Amino acid sequence: MRAVRGEVVSSKPVALTKAARVFSLFAASDDSGLPSDGGALLLCAAEAAMELHVYRRYGLASGQSEEKRPKKRKRKNDACSASGVASRDV
């Protein structure tokens, strides 16, 4: 495998979806001059980034720990709870 040279253009964080898109577009580009192994590796990285994005977005929602969940706030002027009467949908 050949050595890769370059420089850091930006060090700010990017979204996983954007990283996956950049990986896949670079792998598909004819101008990249990548061997087939390098292209396959970039496509693998793009797929892994998308899987991580989906996991973070949908997978963690149901399994959040109690510490990570937002706290429920109590209403100050709730007439039903103040009088001791439970509210029910009829």
Q: What is the domain extent for residue 50?
A: 12-64
> For residue range 23-68, what is the model confidence (pLDDT) as tens digits?
888 888 877 777 888 888 888 999 999 999 899 888 765 655 545 5
CA distances in angstroms from 30 to 7, 34, 35, 38, listed in the order given: 21, 8, 10, 13
**Average of per-residue pLDDT across 64-83:** 54
Residue 33 lies in a domain: yes
Q: For the packed helices 16-28 and 36-54, what is the interaxial angle rounded to 10 degrees?
A: 160
Residue 26 lies in a domain: yes
Q: Please give the pLDDT value at position 79.
A: 46
**Is this prediction's pTM over 0.75?**
no
- Which of 2, 8, 57, 9 shows the shortest CA–CA distance to 32? 2
Q: Looking at 13-17, 42-46, 63-67, 71-75, which range is the least confident one?
A: 63-67
Residue 86 lies in a domain: no
Residue with the larger pLDDT of the pair 6 and 73: 6
Distance from C-alpha of 78 to C-alpha of 81, rounded to nearest angstrom: 6
Domains in the chain: how many in total?
1
Residue 23 lies in a domain: yes
pLDDT surpassing 50 at residue 84: no
Residue 70 lies in a domain: no
